[in-house]
Amino acid sequence: MGNKSSGRVWPLSLIAAAAIGTYFYLSVDFTSKASDTRATGGVEDLAALADQDDTNVLFILVDTLRAERMSAYGYERDTTPFLSKLAATGIRFDHHIAQSSWTKSSMASLWTSLNPIRSGVTKFNHAISSEATMPAEIMSEAGFKTVGLYRNGWVHGYFGFDQGFDKYYRPMGNLINKAVQQMRPNVQAHGSDESLIGDAIEFLRIHGKSSRWFLYMHLMDLHEYTYDEESALFGNTVSDLYDNSILRTDWIISKLYEFMTERGLLENTIIVVLSDHGEAFGERGFEGHAREVFPETTETPLIISLPFSLASGLVIEGRTANVDVWPTLLELLGLPTQPETDGISRRDEILSALAGGASPEREDEHSVAFLDENWGRPGTGPKPAISVAEGSHRYVSGRDHAGRPFEVLLSTESDTLVDQSTEFPEVTLRLRGRAADALKEKAVWEPETFDLDEIQLDQLRALGYELP
């Protein structure tokens, strides 16, 4: 189905990106001037999307974005002024979970709509099977022009992430202004989100009105804690710098939105903003990500902006997950669904909420997050860390710093640092059983492996990960 290989960058796009990136730096203003040109819509408009043949998709993945550090999700600091406005007239999913705290495994789950064990991508040399049906393939078959822009080496095409894309590449422009700082000394910058946004704008300039398109953008500056003088509003601790970087990323996204407004592209585009994982700041003795599956590294945002404005916005309060994203989007668009998924479409839930009704009842609904803590050691057996979220509870098991097994039951309705397993023994027992069942599952396809050379390993090490 669709195109299983990727193409190369179109001529002169990087030159255009450089010019646009320079303009960005000269016009920094964190007060978004992006106007909303969309008409107000509702239930009938949402239901009608499936019958329309001109709806585009802008898919923005912000690497390392923790939901509770966004003002759009109630954070006390105004870190996301633009995304807050986007959510206020769109759909915000309030309790959303990524399927892993490590980019590659999480992204494989996102694109296949399968939990990590079932996707077969749990080690650093694993690749998505060519047998998988990827959303870009479905959309390519439906006539979409499909383009993917990324900066994180874990989603390189040689790991299978390019399946179905007409163009899939990493912009090579290195538009790092002298005023911009990257506070991850072990991380080497490869380009910037400005260069990626520049290529996105050039694509939309050429194809925005002439084709039906799906544009995937994987932003990376937040992973590198990139900020500048204008965004340095929240202090200078590591945690503060992370917030500064969120603000800067929010502003960068708003620039693309402004361009789309000027070109009249909002009225037939679904915009999706989400993340692959969050970030820990020592809450449980862990920092960073790719080490555990507690809420701080797996509670992520999902915001969907429609081709029309929802006057009061919509908040989906039930548990949702990244494996639900593509089943939902494909059904909204009236496109074929992937043949096998762990996620479910949330279309009916959204329609019901818009109509003021209750969410459909789903028995045994829960979300799984998983990390093989030996993901960087391909020759070793699994060392599983697993989380199961159900309603207001989340069960987490793994191993502590000393290698000792542990399990905790956390609640979103109280302090998530407090173990409530003794207070809710029946919940603990039920979710422990579901975690055990998840660990017994098998990959849908035989995992494909990729032999990485030293250059490729060095590129991945440059992201700050420890690899053999």
Place of tokens 């970030």: 279
* Alpha carbon separation from 79 to 127, 232, 240 (Å, rounded): 35, 11, 11
pLDDT, one tens digit per residue, over 169-185 is: 998 765 555 455 555 54
pLDDT of 179 reads: 53
Same domain, 347 and 372: no
pLDDT of 395 reads: 97
Same domain, 280 and 182: yes
Range of the domain at 409: 367-461
pLDDT band at 415 (very low <50, low <70, confident <90, very high): confident
* DSSP letter string, 346-388: -HHHHHHHHTT-PPPP-TT--EEEEEETTTT-TTSPP-EEEEE
CA distance 11 to 459: 25
pLDDT, one tens digit per residue, over 69-112 is: 999 999 999 999 999 999 999 999 999 999 999 999 999 999 99
- Which residue, of 323, 354, 385, is where some domain finishes? 354
CA distance 320 to 341: 14
Establish if 360 belongs to a structural domain.
Answer: no
pLDDT band at 10 (very low <50, low <70, confident <90, very high): very low
CA distance 249 to 242: 11
The most confident of the ranges 180-184, 194-198, 445-449 is 194-198
pLDDT of 267 reads: 96
pLDDT, one tens digit per residue, over 282-320 is: 998 889 999 899 999 999 999 999 999 998 899 999 999
User: Cα-flanking dihedrals φ and ψ of residue 151, to 5°?
Assistant: -130, -10
- Residue 23: pLDDT over 60: no
Establish if 7 belongs to a structural domain.
Answer: no
- CA proximity to 278, closest of 264, 256, 294: 294
User: Cα-flanking dihedrals φ and ψ of residue 361, to 5°?
Assistant: -75, 130
- CA proximity to 330, closest of 140, 188, 106, 99: 140
Same domain, 308 and 423: no
Same domain, 372 and 279: no
- Which residue, of 309, 326, 354, is where some domain finishes? 354
Establish if 359 belongs to a structural domain.
Answer: no
The pLDDT mean for the chain works out to 88
Establish if 309 belongs to a structural domain.
Answer: yes
- CA proximity to 64, closest of 120, 9, 38, 102: 102
Same domain, 316 and 383: no
Same domain, 272 and 408: no
- Residue 65: pLDDT over 50: yes
Establish if 214 belongs to a structural domain.
Answer: yes
Q: Identify whether the C-beta of residue 14 lies closer than 8 Å to the C-beta of residue 172.
A: yes
Domain count, the chain: 2
User: Cα-flanking dihedrals φ and ψ of residue 283, to 5°?
Assistant: -55, -35
pLDDT of 413 reads: 78
- Which residue, of 354, 376, 408, is where some domain finishes? 354
The token pair at 242 is 């992370």
Same domain, 326 and 396: no
The token pair at 390 is 């159900």
The letter for the amino acid at 343 is G
CATH number for the domain harbouring residue 329? 3.40.720.10
Establish if 251 belongs to a structural domain.
Answer: yes
Q: Identify whether the C-beta of residue 358 lies closer than 8 Å to the C-beta of residue 352.
A: yes
* Alpha carbon separation from 217 to 59, 176, 272, 354 (Å, rounded): 6, 18, 10, 28
